Amino acid sequence: MLENRLSHQYWHLVGHRTELPVDNDFLLLNWADGEIVLFNDHGNIVAFDNLCPHRGTRFFVEDHGNHPAHCAYHGWRYDAGRIHIPEPQRFTPCDLAKAHLNEFRLEWCADFIFVGVAPIMTLSEQLRDTEQVLEEISFNIAGRFDFNRYAFECNWRVALENALEPYHIDMVHPNSLGTLRLGEGENTFHGLNSIWRAPVENSRIDKQLRAMSRLFNIDYQYEGYQSLYIFPYAMLSSTYGYSYSLQNFFPARDPARTHFVSRLLTAPVVPERLATAQTFFESTAQINRKVFDEDHQICKRIPTQALQSHLILADNEAKVRHFRESLASVGD
């Protein structure tokens, strides 16, 4: 099955180091195989499937927070790289050396976190030239401002293809993303990944955005709208590099559902401008949530079978064409 191959054989962009700054910070994500937990274990970031190795109880039930990896059922806990078991003498017939977390492989691109099950290539080989762009972005992120989990009532490919193309923006987002009046822009393709960069052609908004540079301490930005697709399930988008929307479109067990989650990652702020930047981030988070809701409302009108039967694409849907070609190269 295509989704199994994608999930198991490729690296997945799932977070940024600044989302887990202190011991016991955690982040919980859903995908078809269950749940992925990112956890700060005394400064060491680990990723595992959220199930206690004793009886399979979930360690965490919230989306994110700060809590020890402590099982509420029988008190087993994970700490300092190993499982701690209450009353181990009760398990004499068992080999407790086999009691361990079901961990994912973890790899870094600067401070971006990638996880994998059994990747068929290195992270650098998978990222190609997008690796350098991600590194530049990574060092210009200070933390997470917003977390938004959203169950899309459509197949993950429908939701992701929608995120890949600007053709729908004027129709679906006239009072949100459409207010930027994004120009034609340029697509670049990097192996399985792609990038779209477009100027902001609403001169009033563009002028306002340029003026906001005084709020931030950044040494990398694209002065316009930039959207990276990181194969197979992630998008990273930004306007002027003041914040970045990290989005995951994970397949669900139900092929007509998508586990969508977005995080608003913010750039470093000049301390004296913190209050103004806070207002800007709040507005950005609200607009992003509106855009995602608008996307969901249109995507849930598209049945899964349309992915195979309706194949006509415009020139500004080039990233969709590239995505479909990438999936075909993976095979099913």
- What single-letter DSSP state applies at residue 216? B
Structure tokens at 303: 């049945």
Rounded to whole angstroms, how far apart are CA atoms 20 and 51? 20
Closest CA to 119 of 14, 11, 33: 11
The average pLDDT across 218-234 equals 97
Question: pLDDT grade, residue 95 (50/70/90)?
Answer: confident
Beta pairing partners, 37:
28, 48
Q: Is the pTM of this model over 0.85?
A: yes
What is the 3 state secondary structure string of 248-287?
Answer: EEEECCCCCCEEEEEEEEECCECHHHHHHHHHHHHHHHHH
What is residue 131's predicted lDDT score, i.e. its pLDDT?
98
The average pLDDT across 282-289 equals 97
What does the mean pLDDT of the chain come to? 95
6-47 pLDDT tens trace: 999 999 999 999 999 999 999 999 998 899 999 999 999 999
Residues 6+ apart with CB under 8 A from 111: 16, 17, 18, 138, 139, 141
What is residue 281's predicted lDDT score, i.e. its pLDDT?
97
pLDDT higher than threshold 60 for residue 77: yes
Name residue, tokens 């402590």.
70
The average pLDDT across 105-121 equals 97
Q: Is 122 buried (19+), middle (13-18) or exposed (0-12) by CB count in 10 A?
A: exposed
The average pLDDT across 127-135 equals 97
pLDDT higher than threshold 70 for residue 286: yes
Structure tokens at 149: 């989990």
What is residue 251's predicted lDDT score, i.e. its pLDDT?
96
Q: Is 138 buried (19+), middle (13-18) or exposed (0-12) by CB count in 10 A?
A: buried
Beta pairing partners, 25:
66
302-331 pLDDT tens trace: 999 999 888 889 999 999 999 999 999 986
Name residue, tokens 């590099």.
241
Phi/psi region, residue 303 (left: phi>0; alpha: psi -120 to 50; beta: rest), is beta
Rounded to whole angstroms, how far apart are CA atoms 286 and 146? 9
pLDDT higher than threshold 80 for residue 332: no
135-175 pLDDT tens trace: 999 999 999 999 999 889 999 999 999 999 999 999 999 99
